[in-house]
Amino acid sequence: MNVVIWISAAILVVAAVLVLIRMTIGPTMLNRVVAMEVIIAIVVAGLALEAVLNDNTTTLPILVVLSMVGFVGSVSVARFAARDEKGRKA
Amino acid sequence: MTWPVIADIITSVCVLTGALLSLIAAVGLLRFPDLLTRMHAGTKPQVLGLLLILVGVGVQFGGPDHIGMLFAVAMFQLLTAPISAHMVGRAAYLYRHVHEEYLVIDELMPVMGDGAE
């Protein structure tokens, strides 16, 4: 099973790199926010994989906290920071 | 087959599927043309992929405390994903980050009027 976990981790790394490319090229703040949410989901998945791989449950509270506060960044950016790009086409 | 073997198989399938969903979402995020379609791609690891991986982890650990914590993760994810998606989509529409030619139907524009905030 460890092989499958490592393969899944490699797939997650590739996915995270692709999402990072989208976060870098933008083109607007809202696109970066969507990419950031996906990055958070991938990080949570990676921490869960780490818990299975090393058979320890110390990372599980981190998952709870990440999934609880992960949306605050995107909500605040969508509410306040997106205002600066008014009128510009995406 | 004993339970540990079955648990390993379930975990392998769930984790691999979840990781592949993350990859699909990343490809969609990179390839899709505008913000709303990218949001559609981005929800895959946020909901289904993460839930599958959490099921895999829960099968592996068992025990009410670990299952409870994983259940809390799933609940928070399901509660907060629509909030941020709503806010991002609303901001995208208000500030014209949406390509109008990709929309099949636009019911919001006649209600809001042009240039509404």
Helix (H) or strand (E) holding B61: helix B50-61
Q: Sorting pLDDT into bands at 50, 70 and 90, what band is A83?
A: low
Contact B96/B36 with Cβ under 8 angstroms? no
Domain around A25? 2-85
Interface test with A, best of B79, B97, B117 (most A CBs within 10 A): B97
Q: Which of A21, A69, A20 is nearest to A42 (CA)?
A: A20
- Give me the count of residues in chain A: 90
Residue B91 lies in a domain: yes
Residue B1: other Cβ atoms inside 10 A: 6
Q: 17-46 in A: which are within 8 Å (CB) of B?
A: 17-19, 21-22, 28, 30-31, 33-35, 37-38, 41-42, 44-45
**Distance of alpha carbon B6 from its chain centroid, rounded?**
28
Separation between Cα atoms, residue B54 and residue B64, nearest integer Å: 14
Domain around B103? 3-112
Nearest-neighbour CA in chain A from B37: distance (Å): 11
Residue A24 lies in a domain: yes
Query: CA quadruple A78, A82, A86, A90: dihedral positive or negative?
Result: negative
Mean pLDDT by 10 residues, chain B (117 residues): 86 92 90 86 85 90 86 90 87 77 78 59
Question: Which of the 8 DSSP states describes residue B101?
Answer: G
- Indicate yes or no: pTM above 0.90: no
Q: Do B88 and A78 touch (CB under 8 A)?
A: yes
Residue A34 lies in a domain: yes
The count of domains in chain B is 1
- Complex-level ipTM beyond the 0.95 threshold: no
Residue B117 lies in a domain: no
Q: Sorting pLDDT into bands at 50, 70 and 90, what band is A11?
A: very high
The count of domains in chain A is 1
Per DSSP (E only), the strands in A30-90 are none
Interface test with B, best of A2, A7, A12 (most B CBs within 10 A): A12
Residue A90 lies in a domain: no
